[in-house]
Amino acid sequence: MRKLQINQTSRFRGVSYSYYQASWKAQIMLNYRNLHLGYFSTEEKAKEAYDTIKELVKEGFEISTGLEARKLLVAKGIKED
């Protein structure tokens, strides 16, 4: 867990609070592209989504769009709220 700075809304990498959606947003940067992973009710669920995609990429999965990433999350049992 990292230290929360003044301009950050989350303690976790890839997670931020969306005031517009009133929920936690997960996103990840892959191949110089920012991929949206979804909106979640808790900061911990958004972190779980980020960590899952990060592990899949380390295992060799090629993910090029946010839609592909969200489909993999649903297959792993992680759904947006």
> What's the pTM value of the predicted model, to 2 decimals?
0.87
Q: Record the tokens describing residue 27, joined without a space.
A: 């996103």
Is 45 inside a domain boundary?
yes
Alpha carbons 61 and 81: distance in angstroms, whole number: 25
Is 7 inside a domain boundary?
no
Alpha carbons 79 and 81: distance in angstroms, whole number: 6
Is 61 inside a domain boundary?
yes
Please report which helix (H) or strand (E) contains residue 12, including its range: none
* Cβ count near 48 (within 10 Å): 19
Domain span at 64: 15-75
Is 8 inside a domain boundary?
no
Output the pLDDT for position 81. 83
Is 43 inside a domain boundary?
yes
Output the pLDDT for position 14. 94
Tell me the pLDDT of the chain (81 aa) as tens digits. Answer: 656 555 568 899 999 999 999 999 999 999 999 999 999 999 999 999 999 999 999 999 999 999 999 999 999 999 888
Output the pLDDT for position 17. 93
Output the pLDDT for position 3. 61
Is 51 inside a domain boundary?
yes
Q: How many domains does the chain have?
A: 1
